[in-house]
Amino acid sequence: MRSGPLPALRHWVAPAAAVVGVALVVAGVVLAVNRGGPGAAVGAKGRTAGSTSGPDLKVGNGDEVVAKGIVVAAPGRPVVFCPPLPQADAGSVPGEESPPVCSGKPRPVVVTGVDLSLLSKAATRKGVRFGYAELRGVWRDWTIAVTSQGPYTEPLERSDLASPCPPPPGGWKSNAELADTGTDRLSAFIARHPDRFGAQWIAYADLDEEPPNDGPDFEHAKQIFVVGVVEGDLDDARRELASIYGGNLCVTRTEQSITRREQVAGALEGLWTDRADVLIGTSGMSSPRMLPSVDLVVMDQPMHDVLARIGWDEFDVEAAIRPVR
């Protein structure tokens, strides 16, 4: 592992290897996916303000639902809905890209009553018509009977990169001052105490000096190593960690330990194999709760029951198809 200043990152990245997907460890620090957005408010063990709790996402036959994502109409096949998919054939020769595929994992949802002429970003490749839409309709047995259709709008996903700690006396150190601050020693110490510590991530100070969409390098923003503490006094932990790490350090309270996070992530990983019909994936951790997160096509009753057994307070969950309450 390298020592020295932590690399600047625009987005959080996936946590432990126990979670399905790509895990990126930077200087021994496992970072997290942030879903909260700027200024998100949260209680001690609550969800981001304004979000829907896990149990409230459950969908059953006859429920009115809203679905935001891609619609694919292949010749001779039913029109289907999928959650937003990664860009297919990135880097392919223009004009030779393959159409998006919406089958298998995750399971596609048949949609009836879609007006293909109203799709956003509509295109046709090799006879397959596709585009994005926000659909409302009635859910029944993996089919949505569409009753209204609107344009697709991209979700706002700017990461909340601000530090949860106030600056220390004298202010945060500049990145130029973070040459060799003991990152490896700090990471090794935290790893030896997985029941005491929780999530760790990189936050930034002086973000207002950066222009919007400035790319991956924050020239002016100062990097801060944030450490979540589950057990013990925060001031004691801060003094102890500061004796190991000489860089910008923020010590804050988190509810889930490294040990518990790995247990939950392992339980969620099994869903990828067992319930691939409804699961998009498990990805990173969600802020501000810093818990493992689950992304679903839809939460049907069987998936609801499985997640309930793991415990709603142990993870955050999102669904591409949501009930209209």
pLDDT tens profile 39-69:
222 222 233 333 456 889 999 999 999 999 8
Same-domain pairing of 89 and 225: no
pLDDT at 45: 29
The number of folded domains in the chain is: 2
Residue 69 lies in a domain: yes
* In-domain check, residue 165: yes
138 shares a domain with 109: yes
Q: What is the end-to-end Cα distance of the chain in Å, rounded?
A: 49
pLDDT tens, position by position, 158-193: 445 678 899 999 899 887 777 667 888 999 999 999
Same domain, 89 and 233: no
- Looking at residue 99, what is its pLDDT? 76
Q: Tell me, yes or no, whether 120 lies in a domain.
A: yes
Residue numbers in the chain where pLDDT is lower than 50: 1-51, 87-91, 157-159, 210-216
Domain end among 254, 270, 292: 254
Same domain, 163 and 248: yes
Ramachandran region, residue 290 (left: φ > 0; alpha: ψ -120 to 50; beta: rest): left
- Domain end position, chosen among 150, 184, 201: 150
pLDDT of residue 201: 84
Same domain, 128 and 185: no
Are 145 and 174 in a shared domain?
A: no
Is pTM beyond 0.75? Reply is no
Are 203 and 230 part of one and the same domain? yes
User: How remote is the C-alpha of 90 from its chain's centroid?
Assistant: 22
- Among 213, 230, 254, the domain boundary falls at 254
pLDDT for 49 equals 31
Assess whether 225 and 81 both reside in one domain: no
Q: Domain of residue 132: give its range.
A: 57-150
- 104 and 248 part of one domain: no
Same domain assignment for residues 105 and 243? no
102 lies in some domain? yes
In a domain, 92, yes or no: yes
